[in-house]
Structure 1
Amino acid sequence: MTKVIIIGSGNVAQHLIVAFQNSQNSGTEIELIQVFSRQKESVSHLLDLDKITDDFDTLLEADLYIIAVSDDAIADVSSQLPFKNRLVVHTSGSIPLDSLNENNRKGVFYPLQTFTKNKDVDFRIIPICLESENATDFQLLDKVAKTISDKVFAINSEQRKALHVAAVFVNNFVNHLYQIGQEICQEHQVPFEILKPLISETAQKVMILSPEDAQTGPAERNDTNTIEAHEAFLSNENHATIYKTLTQSIQHNGKKL
C-alpha cells in the first residue's frame, strides 16, 4: 500500500483529499493516511479528526508528502519537515522544483485546474503534471497520479512555467473579460444571462478547433466601422484600452504590435 500525506487545507488540498478518498473507496493501493492543517476544523468535514494533525513532529511515515499550500509558503513549509530523504512534492504551477528543501527528495504534483471550495470537480479529467529528480520517484508519482486522474504528464519546470502563464491567459484573463462584459451589461441594464450561451459555445469550439481557426468578430474581419463605433461607445477608459489592445493583437495574429 502506497501511503500519502497532504500538507495544507486550502482549495487544492481539499480537492486532493476528496480525490484520494474517492480513489480509496474504489479499491486502489493508495491510502491517504494523514493531513496536516494548522486549523484542524478547516478539513474536519472531509476526514476523521484522528487523521488530522497540526504538529509537524507528529507527521507519520509515508511514501509521499504533498505540500498543497500557497506559493510563498512552500519553501518555509518544506524546511519545517522533521525528517530526511523522503519524497516531498509541491502542487504549484509557478514554483521551481529546487524551492523545496534539500533535506528530502523533491518533486512536483501539479493539477492544472482552477479550484473553488465546495464546488465539486471531476478529478479524472484534470491534467496532473509531474516532475522529479530521479526515475524511481517519478514512477511513484505516476502511480499515485493515475489513481485519481486519467491525464498525467511528465513536465519539467520550464514547461510548467509556460503552462502556468498560458493558464493565466485562458482562465484568469478570460474570466476578467467576462467581468468587463458583465459591467457593460449592468451599465446599460442588459441581463448578463443573455451572453452565457455565447460563452458556452466559444469554450466548446476550442475543444474541436484551434483557437486561431475559431476566431471570429470585427477584429478578425477587419471591420473598421464596427471597431471604431465600439471604441467610441465605451465610456470606461480601461475597457476602451483593453478593447483596442486585444483588437490590435487579433489583427496582427500574435505578431509584435
Structure 2
Amino acid sequence: MIKIVILGGGNIAYHLTSQLLKNKTARVVQVYNRSIEKIQYLDDKTSITDKLTELKDADIYIIAVTDDAISSVSSELNFKNKLVVHTSGSVAIDELKSNSNKGVFYLLQSFSKEQKIDLFQVPICIEASTEKDLELLEVLAKSISKKYYKINSKQRKSLHVAAVFVNNFVNHLYYIGNEICEENKIPFNILQPLIQETANKIEALSPFEAQTGPAKRNDVKTIKKHKAMLAHNQHEIYTLLTKSITKTYGKKL
C-alpha cells in the first residue's frame, strides 16, 4: 500500500483526495492545507493539519498548490528517500526545492469542485528523477486512470500551452457566444448540440479535417456581415481567428 500525503485544498487536491480515499493501491494518510477550515470536511476521513512541521510519514508527498507556491512549500519537505511531486503542467521538475526525490504527477484536466470528474478517463503525465520513483508513480497512475504518459518537463510545458488553447481559450469563446445570444434574447443552450458535435467530430477526424465555416470556404460576404454585428472586442477576436483559419487553408480575404 502506497502511503500518500496531499498538500493543498484547491480543486486538484479536492478531486485527487476524493479519488485516493477510495483507492485500493494507495492510502491517504494525511492532507495538509495552510487554512485548516478548507479541508475540515476531511476530518472524519483522514488526518488533517495546517502545519508543515507535523506531516506524517509517507511514500509520496503530492503538492497540489498554486504554481507560485510550489517552490516555497517544497523547500519545507526534506524527507530522505521519500518522493515529493507536484501536479503542475507548467512548472519544471527541478523547481521542486526539497532535498527529497523529485517527480511530477500532472492530471491533464480542467477541475472545478462543483463538477464531478471521472479520473479514470483523465490522462496523467508522470516524471521522476529516478527510474525507481518513475515506476512508483506509474503504479499510482494506473490505480487512478486508464491513461498515463511518461512526459518530461519540456514536453509538459508544451502540452500545457496546447491545453490552454483547446480548453481555456475555447471556453472563453463559449462566453462570447453566450454574450451574443443574451444580447439578442436567444437561449444559449440552442448551441449545445453544435458544441457537442464539434467535440465528438475530432475523435474521428483531425482538427484540420474537421474545420468548417465561412473563414475556411473564404466566404467574404458572410464574414463582412458578421464583423458589422460585433462589438469591438468581439470584432478583434473574430478577425484574428478568421485570419488564422484562412492562412491555415491557404486562402486570402
- Is the pair's TM-score, using the shorter chain for normalization, greater than 0.5? yes
CA shift in 2, pair 1:145/1:70, >3 Å: same
Residues 162-201 of structure 1 mapped to structure 2, 5 A cutoff: 162-201=158-197
C-alpha displacement at 1:61, in angstroms? 1.1
Structure 1 residue matching 2:17: 3-state secondary structure: helix
- Give the distance between the partners of 2:43 and 2:206, measured in 1 at CA: 42
C-alpha displacement at 1:49, in angstroms? 6.5
Give the counterpart letter for 1:20 in structure 2.
Answer: L
Please name the residue that 2:124 is paired with: 128
Give the counterpart letter for 1:246 in structure 2.
Answer: L
C-alpha displacement at 1:102, in angstroms? 4.3
CA shift in 2, pair 1:254/1:41, >3 Å: farther
- Residue by residue over 1:91-144, the C-alpha shift from the partner in whole angstroms, topping out at 9 and shown as x without a partner, is 000001111014111100000000001321000000000001110000000001
Please state if 1:17 is matched with 2:17: yes
- Give the distance between the partners of 1:29 and 1:67, measured in 2 at CA: 19
- Give identity over the alignment, percent: 53
TM, length-normalised to structure 2: 0.95
- Give the distance between the partners of 2:186 and 2:98, measured in 1 at CA: 56
Please state if 1:160 is matched with 2:156: yes
RMSD over aligned CA atoms reads 1.6
C-alpha displacement at 1:39, in angstroms? 2.2
- Residue by residue over 1:199-245, the C-alpha shift from the partner in whole angstroms, topping out at 9 and shown as x without a partner, is 111111112211111100001111111111111121x1111111011
CA shift in 2, pair 1:50/1:154, >3 Å: closer
- Give the distance between the partners of 2:185 and 2:204, measured in 1 at CA: 34
C-alpha displacement at 1:163, in angstroms? 0.6
C-alpha displacement at 1:47, in angstroms? 5.0
- Give the distance between the partners of 1:214 and 1:184, measured in 2 at CA: 24
Please state if 1:55 is matched with 2:51: yes
C-alpha displacement at 1:31, in angstroms? 1.1
Please name the residue that 1:119 is paired with: 115
Unmatched tracts of structure 1, length 5 or more: none
Unmatched tracts of structure 2, length 5 or more: none
Q: In terms of mean alpha carbon deviation, does 53-62 or 10-19 score higher?
A: 53-62
Please name the residue that 2:237 is paired with: 242
Give the aligned length: 251
Instruction: Kindly report structure 1 stretches of 4+ aligned residues shifted beyond 6 Å.
Output: none
